Amino acid sequence: MSATMMKTEAAIGVWRLRWRRFRKHRTGMISLVILAALILFVLAAYPMQWLLGIDPNAADLFSRFDPPSPGHYLGMDEAGRDVLVRLMIGGQISLLVGILATLIGGMVGVAIGISAGYFGGKVDNALMRFTDGMIALPLLPLLIVLGAIDLTKLGFSQDFARSGAAGFWRIVVIISIVDWTAIARLVRAATLQIRERDYVRAARAAGASAWYMMATHILPNIATPIIVSFTLTVGRVILSESVLSFLGFGIVPPTPSWGNMLNNAQELVTTAPALAVYPGLLIFITVIAVNFLGDGLQHAFDPRSER
Amino acid sequence: MRRFILQRIGQAALVLLVMSFVIYSLIGLMPGDPLDVMIASNPGATPEVVARLRAIYGLDQPLMYRYGHWLLAAVQGDLGFSRTHSQPVLEVLAPALWVTCKLMLASFVISVSLSLILGISAALRPGGIVDGIINLGAFAGISVPVFWLALMMILVFAVKLHLLPASGIANIDDGGFVDHLRHLIMPVATLALANTGGFTRFVRASMIETLRMDHIRTARAKGNAEGRVVLVHALRNAMIPVVTVMALSFGTLFSGALLTETMFAQPGMGKMIYDSILSNDFNLALSGLLFATLVTLLSNLAADLAYGWLDPRMSR
Amino acid sequence: MTELLNIENISVHFPSPGGRVVRAVQDVSLSIAEGETLALVGESGSGKSTLGYTVAGLQPPTSGTLRFEGVPLTSRTWPAARRKIQIVFQDPFGALDPRMPISSTIAEPLLIQRIGTSASRMARAEELVQQVGLPRDALNRYPHEFSGGQRQRIAIARALSPNPRLIVADEPLSALDVSIQSQVLNLMKEVQEKLGLSYLFISHDLAVVNHLVDRVAVLYLGRLVEVGPREALFGKPAHPYTEALLASVPRIGRKRARNAGAIKGEMPSPLNPPTGCVFHTRCPRAQPMCSEVVPVLEAVAGQGAHQAACHFKE
């Protein structure tokens, strides 16, 4: 029996092909470099603190608004704290919130989208009505209310409710509660396509459970759109975090985040405009890089997309 | 079609009802309670007095019961009293709504017009230089934090250049039409810029797709001038999804309005909701949020209808 | 021969937009014996794939009973029966999960049915991959490295893995090149002889059917119009629709009878099937009674096994 193996171009691996396509996407590549640099930047907080002996949260009222100097390259803020190190640590917090909230909200979105797409019918109808309703709501006021909730009324202890960890996790959780809709819709659409493939039918004919089918056949085959939409979501989450922290409902000082560093910047915009420029600029650069990265990934993953 | 409309209205009413309960419960979880100001101003109040007050205001009743009472009153037009404004909620809401409407309408019109021009220009030659620049601008628009954009505007135009006022809706000693207009420029520009990015990307994508369709090729082949093909044949088709998305963006627009109003101290709905949450003005926060939801739902309803009207397949 | 599967008065209806009902399969009764191959033929839209899906447990019937090895298949008895009924699909490109290595694909029914250990399942996959004529190193590769014919072999290996008694083959050859078709057909014959399998072979290609099958069932608009042993049915079709189908097959060395039963018009919509005999709108023998009375499936004169549903069978 002749069974010659066909060695096709595809055999070099789909990921290498995608990498080739991605490299041609100029803004995507630039964004990748920028994001790598940003990560190095925020991680540089540790050696900086250690080498220069800086405590990012220690106020020093004698050095308020000090101009840049050796050892304090971007000067001091309104409480006499080193601006550069606070920018680095604030970046860690903002990026961490962005990634964590995306992962948690993304899991909610994937679960809802895949159930709606796989089960169809009434389940689909109910879940998608819910999702559409969520999309249409004015989300910022809702986020503010969620951010204002008194954790002690939910049964948490006083100590926990006031701690920095509570502030951090609260914002991760409330953003994930709200920002899962785009992923859910996308996952649903992708699931609908995969559900009708014969390999899914074959597994069903063999008696596979819905759980098996989703985990084994559907999830791996919709991984690419999920990666793209997770990337784009990270950008949106970083924006939401900065807004909430700026308005005073997010990361609580003295822990810095790019958003809450702008907290006082409005009053200070006449005296120390630089303090208002740096954090916002970093948010802007990060989010635009993440968005371009998502655009580049989409291009690389979709063989039909021309530019 | 009529059945479709009625169905949608029913759905919107249901969403509003569910939201009112969700928001009502969430507001109850905010710090403090409606009595704390009263108690703070009467240091002599004994625990017995407090308990009696709580009973009078029904605060010792279960959540569902209180919600039911509130809903019954709300349906009859009684939304309660704003404690920070010392006025009935409706009287606080109405002028704020007007400020927000002005802001949102002006920036919506500007961003729609801008995004149409930019989106179409970009779609004419995808991958070209013009497209590249517009695309970069659009990405910048969706990536910029709105409040920071406002801050930068204030820094440049108010602090450095002294061209425009940084806050408020009018000067106390002036208040003429031109003065009002000058106060509107920065808030409107900020909100418009923030929305133009997303709209432009959408117009561009929809337009590129339409221009690839067969009937557009036919129109070209028949010798129609390119401008005519783009503006007459393609635009109408491209507008169907665009209109839907724009109408559905009301929620986002409102979130942006909240930020711009707060940044530029405009006494609109957004700032009012924000302030009421900060100052534990429960009734005002609740009504403001529900009002925003209601208007969002109405705009979604309008989007559905516009879609049905634009797309001949729907109007069967 | 003992009967393996009985299809008893099976109907499959789908709801369609506007509250109407598509009668995809209407009151069909058939049986398949141990080691037998039954062909299900008909045009697209005849309901043959739907019936195949019902047998494979992918589409619950609206009414009627499936009996496997004498046991009626209910939600309680289905799970155990699933390993004994497997399915092979038409499109070899959609039939294999692109993200799953061949070894896991072949062993998948065993995994789902929790048969054996992971080592024994891999051993079974290795055995099967050789049985269907692929090299052993195929096991760790992915579907995109294989041609259509090779993929169909893999799909057959997957169907064979839990030692089934019946394989539903839904047009397994029609997506393949003609030169490959005969190879895959031979493979199917080979494993049948070796394992004593039964096939429910769904096809619109009568030439292929002629090579493989023992009996043929003809479906039209969801109804069974004729069934019988291959020689009898092909040699002397009793139903005008079967006659027309056969006439449409070009055969080498046989002159095509001119206009003999050529089908006129198009198949009516299964949303709105004709009254009486479903074929009367296109039938050359149609009489007034055909549009009123539904013909029953009856033995053709002198032969018990050959049955047709026609008021005027020849």
Boundaries of domain holding A287: 13-50+74-306
| C-alpha distances out from residue C259 to A226, C236, C256, Å | 57, 17, 9
The two structure tokens encoding residue A119: 């089960």
Distance CA A42, CA A88 (A): 4
Distance CA C226, CA C244 (A): 13
Name which residue leads in pLDDT, B217 or B126: B126
- In chain B, the residue whose alpha carbon lies closest to the alpha carbon of A149 is B30
Contacts of B171 (CB under 8 A, 6+ apart): B165, B179, B183
Distance CA C161, CA B70 (A): 65
Distance CA C102, CA C141 (A): 6
DSSP string covering C75-98: TTTHHHHHTTEEEE-S-TTTSS-T
Report the gap between the CA of C187 and the closest CA in chain A (Å): 10
**The predicted structure's pLDDT at residue A138:** 80
Find out whether A297 and A22 touch, Cβ atoms under 8 Å: yes
Residue B82 DSSP label: E
Distance CA C39, CA C52 (A): 11
- In chain A, the residue whose alpha carbon lies closest to the alpha carbon of B298 is A136
- In chain A, the residue whose alpha carbon lies closest to the alpha carbon of B303 is A136
Q: CA torsion sign, A182 to A188 to A194 to A196?
A: negative
The two structure tokens encoding residue A297: 């990934």
DSSP string covering chain C: --EEEEEEEEEEEEEETTTEEEEEEEEEEEEEETT-EEEEE--TTSSHHHHHHHHTTSS--SEEEEEETTEE--TTTHHHHHTTEEEE-S-TTTSS-TTS-HHHHHHHHHHHTT-S-HHHHHHHHHHHHHHTT--GGGGGS-GGGS-HHHHHHHHHHHHHTT--SEEEEESSSTTS-HHHHHHHHHHHHHHHHHHT-EEEEEES-HHHHHHH-SEEEEEETTEEEEEEEHHHHHHS--SHHHHHHHHTS--TTSPPPTTTTPPPS-PPPTTSPPSSSTTGGG-TT--GGGGTSPPPPEE-TT-SS-EE--TT--
Residue B282's pLDDT band, with cuts at 50, 70 and 90, is confident
Inter-chain residue contact A207 with C147, CB threshold 8 Å:
no
**The predicted structure's pLDDT at residue A6:** 40
Inter-chain residue contact C57 with A11, CB threshold 8 Å:
no
**The predicted structure's pLDDT at residue C285:** 82
Q: What is the CATH number of the domain that holds A255?
A: 1.10.3720.10
Distance CA C109, CA A249 (A): 53
How many helices (H) and strands (E) in chain B? 14, 2
**The predicted structure's pLDDT at residue C250:** 65
The two structure tokens encoding residue A52: 């220069």
The two structure tokens encoding residue C8: 């008893």
The two structure tokens encoding residue B41: 């101003």
**The predicted structure's pLDDT at residue B40:** 66
Q: In this structure, what are the phi and psi dihedrals at residue B32, rounded to the nearest 5 degrees? A: 75, 180
For the beta sheet containing C71-72, the strands, ordered from the edge strand earlier in sequence to the opposite edge, are C20-33, C3-16, C63-68, C71-72
Report the gap between the CA of B247 and the closest CA in chain A (Å): 10
Residue A291 has pLDDT above 70, yes or no: yes
Report the gap between the CA of C229 and the closest CA in chain A (Å): 29
Distance CA B312, CA B198 (A): 26
Distance CA B217, CA A239 (A): 41
Q: In whole angstroms, what separates CA A131 from the centre of its chain?
A: 20
Inter-chain residue contact B152 with A154, CB threshold 8 Å:
no
What are the structural domains of chain B?
2-80 (no CATH), 90-315 (1.10.3720.10)
The two structure tokens encoding residue C293: 């009375």
Inter-chain residue contact A205 with C99, CB threshold 8 Å:
no
User: Which residues 225-254 of B have a C-beta within 8 angstroms of A?
Assistant: 248, 250-252, 254
Which residue in C82, C145, C162 is closest to A5 by CB distance?
C145
Q: What is the pLDDT of residues B19-41, one digit of tens each?
A: 888 888 888 887 777 666 666 66
| C-alpha distances out from residue B184 to B99, B162, B178, Å | 10, 15, 10
Report the C-alpha dihedral over residues B145, B150, B156, B159, rounded to 10 degrees. -130
Residue A5's pLDDT band, with cuts at 50, 70 and 90, is very low
Instruction: Establish if A269 belongs to a structural domain.
Output: yes
Report the gap between the CA of C243 and the closest CA in chain A (Å): 33
Inter-chain residue contact A206 with C109, CB threshold 8 Å:
yes
Instruction: Establish if A64 belongs to a structural domain.
Output: no
Number of C-alpha atoms within 13 angstroms, CB side, residue C148?
14
Q: Residue A191 belongs to what H/E stretch?
A: helix A181-195
The candidate with the shortest Cα–Cα distance to A141, out of B84, B256, B146, is B256
**The predicted structure's pLDDT at residue A237:** 93
With contact defined as 3+ CB pairs under 8 Å, the chains touching A are B, C
Residue-wise burial string across C74-98, b where 16 or more C-beta atoms lie within 10 A, e elsewhere: eeeeeeebbbbbbbbbbbbbbbbbe
**The predicted structure's pLDDT at residue B179:** 80
Please list the ranges in chain C whose pLDDT falls under 70: 1, 18, 250-264, 314
Q: Residue B81 belongs to what H/E stretch?
A: strand B81-82
**The predicted structure's pLDDT at residue C53:** 93
**The predicted structure's pLDDT at residue C215:** 92
- Which of B273-282, B284-293, C82-91 has the highest average model confidence (pLDDT)? C82-91
Residue A103 has pLDDT above 90, yes or no: yes
Distance CA C169, CA C39 (A): 9
Residue type, C251: R
Distance CA A4, CA A79 (A): 74
Name which residue leads in pLDDT, A201 or C273: A201
Name which residue leads in pLDDT, A76 or C224: C224
| Residue ranges of chain C whose CB lies within 8 Å of a chain A CB | 53, 56-58, 78-79, 82-83, 85-87, 89-91, 94-100, 105, 108-109, 112-113, 133-135, 137-138, 141, 144-147, 150, 153, 155, 158, 162, 183
The two structure tokens encoding residue A147: 């951010």
Bridge partners of A72, per DSSP, are A69
Report the gap between the CA of C96 and the closest CA in chain A (Å): 5
The mean predicted confidence, pLDDT, of chain B is 81
Which residue in B18, B146, B274 is closest to A144 by CB distance?
B274
Which residue in A6, A198, A207 is closest to C82 by CB distance?
A207
**The predicted structure's pLDDT at residue C1:** 60
Residue B294: how many other CB atoms lie within 10 Å = 16
**The predicted structure's pLDDT at residue A214:** 92
| C-alpha distances out from residue A6 to A56, C101, C106, Å | 61, 16, 19
Query: Could you give the ipTM of this predicted complex?
Result: 0.85
Distance CA A67, CA A65 (A): 6
**The predicted structure's pLDDT at residue B310:** 67
Name which residue leads in pLDDT, B249 or B228: B249
**The predicted structure's pLDDT at residue B1:** 64
Distance CA C87, CA A199 (A): 10
Three-state DSSP class for residue B180: helix
Inter-chain residue contact B139 with A292, CB threshold 8 Å:
yes
With pLDDT > 90 as the criterion, what percentage of chain A qualifies? 30
Q: What is the pLDDT of residues B234-276, one digit of tens each?
A: 777 777 777 777 777 888 888 899 999 988 888 888 889 988 8
Q: In whole angstroms, what separates CA A256 from the centre of its chain?
A: 18
**The predicted structure's pLDDT at residue B172:** 65
**The predicted structure's pLDDT at residue C174:** 86
Contacts of C82 (CB under 8 A, 6+ apart): A205, A206, A207, C57, C113
Tell which of C14, C86, C96, C108 to mutate to test the A interface (max A CBs under 10 Å).
C108
Q: What is the pLDDT of residues B41-88, one digit of tens each?
A: 666 667 777 777 777 766 777 778 888 888 888 888 777 777 777 788
Residue B157 has pLDDT above 90, yes or no: no
Inter-chain residue contact C99 with A221, CB threshold 8 Å:
yes
Q: What is the pLDDT of residues C141-194, one digit of tens each?
A: 888 889 889 999 999 999 999 999 999 999 988 888 888 888 999 999 999 999
With pLDDT > 70 as the criterion, what percentage of chain A qualifies? 93
**What are the helix (H) ranges across B87-176?**
89-124, 129-143, 146-153
Domains in chain A, number: 1
Residue A158 DSSP label: H
The two structure tokens encoding residue A7: 């060695």
Q: CA torsion sign, A225 to A226 to A232 to A236?
A: positive
Distance CA C74, CA C87 (A): 19
Which whole number is the average pLDDT over A97-116? Answer: 94
Instruction: Establish if A6 belongs to a structural domain.
Output: no
Find out whether B254 and B292 touch, Cβ atoms under 8 Å: yes
Q: Which residues from chain B sit within 8 angstroms of residue A266, using beta carbons?
A: 151, 154, 263
Tell which of A35, A129, A140 to mutate to test the B interface (max B CBs under 10 Å).
A140
Three-state DSSP class for residue B140: helix
**The predicted structure's pLDDT at residue C132:** 92
Bridge partners of C224, per DSSP, are C219
Tell which of A194, A201, A219, A222 to mutate to test the C interface (max C CBs under 10 Å).
A201
**The predicted structure's pLDDT at residue B280:** 80
Instruction: Establish if A159 belongs to a structural domain.
Output: yes
Distance CA C153, CA C188 (A): 9
Instruction: Establish if A57 belongs to a structural domain.
Output: no
Residue A150 DSSP label: -
Measured at the CA of B253, the angle between CA B291 and CA A282, to 5 degrees, comes to 130
The mean predicted confidence, pLDDT, of chain A is 83
**The predicted structure's pLDDT at residue A13:** 61
Which residue in B29, B136, B277 is closest to A154 by CB distance?
B29
Distance CA C234, CA C216 (A): 9
Name which residue leads in pLDDT, C215 or A159: C215
Residue type, B144: V
Distance CA B9, CA C69 (A): 55
